[in-house]
A and B are shown apart, each in its own frame.
Chain A
Amino acid sequence: MSGLDQGKMQLSGRGVACVRGGREVFSGLDFAAVSGEAVAVMGRNGSGKTSLLRLIAGLLIPAGGTIALDGGDAELTLPEQCHYLGHRDALKPALSVAENLAFWADFLGGERGNAAASLEAVGLDHAAHLPAAFLSAGQRRRLSLARLLTIRRRIWLLDEPTTALDVAGQDMFGGLMREHLARGGMIIAATHAPLGIDSRELRIGGVA
């Protein structure tokens, strides 16, 4: 975990505006996050929490404003330094748990940890050879978390990360997030439920 430890970085957005389907979701949004910090994006349904994460991930084009990363790896773009964990788990039912994880590790590249250790950390080591089709919703989520652990990236963009996780799973995930922050990572999570870690709140779209 060498490369992760060094360097402060700051992610900042100025006057960010988002338009979806001709409707303005939010505009003039300013935000900032530094390494070692977790930001919980709060807001009612449809206020644009997911849109904000997708803007940062480069999966949406902002209608106005800029999003910039200071520090971090100058050779890589912002999306290339992010892990995006969306509503969908990016798993192939025909492949086994281990194959799914190995594919993303090979494809995404960069600094990687031990896949078997990641599976053990999320409690899926016993199911490594099971096709992903047989996993429950919570297990699928755990497998996506193993992806975050196996491929080391400093910025985690999490969209409702704790849905489908049981209480033990949420505790486990809280521990993983704390470890990530301690290593100098950054977490931006859209959530309704408390994250289970110390986090700063970013409210968008008025009062919840």
Chain B
Amino acid sequence: MTALSALIRRDIRIALRVGGGALIGVLFFLTVVVLMPFAVGPDLALLSRLGPAILWLGALLASLLTLDRLFMADHEDGSLDLITMSRTPLELACAAKALAHWLAAGLPLIVATPVLGLLLNLDMVATGAVALTLLAGTPALTFTGMIGAGLAVTLHRGGLLMAVLVLPLSIPVLIFGVAASQAAIVGPMTFGAPFSILCALSLVSLVVGPFAAAASLRHGLD
């Protein structure tokens, strides 16, 4: 446990320091969502109907933005060699790194959501629903994204490849995330059904992601 908490603390510390990835994601999210009302125009009804989708898309792209570096930085400076050799199973180390990434880069997106909801004419209930679905859904984005990050290590210039690999996997998360938010705002579906599926997607990715990422890292040893 000390090993894993040390890894999580280190990654969060690096992400929060100057040049770390945490701020980049939030700034990107902010930019996308702030620009959207200007592009869509002053139709408030339209804006509030598109709101959840805009927030979800912004969060999706923002969380993928820095994810391709998840293992790449450790690979480049040799840390990944030592992590692979250590007593900590690689699967657990991968899970710890993804968790640290979510805490540093995913959680701030959710915190920023209520502020950005104001710009999109979302009321309290709608903002709460979007924030809740993001809280349940963004772990799935991080943990499926880490599979792509693991593959990107072996393939040089894997950043683009990662987007191509990971975006299809994140489509279900996007569909059910937006569906659950819409259900809470306008109905007629119940909030529970899509939200449960969203939670299920997150739980599945929590299990599958670390194993798949560790397998691709092991395969790519050189």
Number of A-B contacts defined by CB within 8 Å: 79
B2, B3, B82, B221: the one contacting A84 at CB < 8 Å is: B82
A76, A95, A107: the one contacting B3 at CB < 8 Å is: A107
Which B residues between 72 and 89 are near A, CB-CB below 8 angstroms?
76-79, 81-88
Contact with B along A49-80 (1 / 0, CB 8 A): 00000000111110000000000000010011
Known: A91-B77, A107-B3. A58 touches B84 (CB 8 A): yes
Interface residues of B (CB under 8 A from A): 2-3, 5-7, 9-10, 13-14, 17-20, 76-79, 81-88, 221-222
**Shortest 3 CB-CB contacts between residues of A and residues of B:** A88-B78, A106-B6, A90-B78
Q: Does B221 contact A59, Cβ atoms closer than 8 Å? A: yes
A59, A89, A95: the one contacting B85 at CB < 8 Å is: A59
B13, B79, B84, B88: the one contacting A99 at CB < 8 Å is: B13
> Which of A20, A82, A95, A108 has the most chain B CB atoms inside 10 A of its CB?
A108
Which A residues between 134 and 179 are near B, CB-CB below 8 angstroms?
none
| B77 CB → nearest A CB, Å | 5
Closest Cβ neighbor of B15 among chain A residues: A94
A89, A91, A94, A103: the one contacting B20 at CB < 8 Å is: A94
Q: Please count how many residues in chain A sit with their CB below 8 Å of the partner chain's CB atoms.
A: 28
Chain B CB within 8 A of A109 CB = yes
Q: Which residues of B contact A91 (CB under 8 A)?
A: 77
| A146 CB → nearest B CB, Å | 14
Closest Cβ neighbor of B4 among chain A residues: A107
Closest Cβ neighbor of B79 among chain A residues: A90
Q: Which residues of A contact B86 (CB under 8 A)?
A: 80, 107-109
Q: Which residues of B contact A60 (CB under 8 A)?
A: 221-222
Q: List 12 A-B contacts (CB under 8 A).
A: A20-B222, A61-B221, A76-B87, A84-B81, A86-B81, A90-B79, A94-B20, A103-B10, A104-B82, A106-B2, A107-B82, A109-B86
Q: Which residues of B contact A59 (CB under 8 A)?
A: 81, 84-85, 221
Q: Does B7 contact A107, Cβ atoms closer than 8 Å? A: yes
The distance in angstroms between the C-alpha atoms of A84 and B81, with both chains bound, is 8
> Which of B2, B3, B10, B76 has the most chain A CB atoms inside 10 A of its CB?
B10
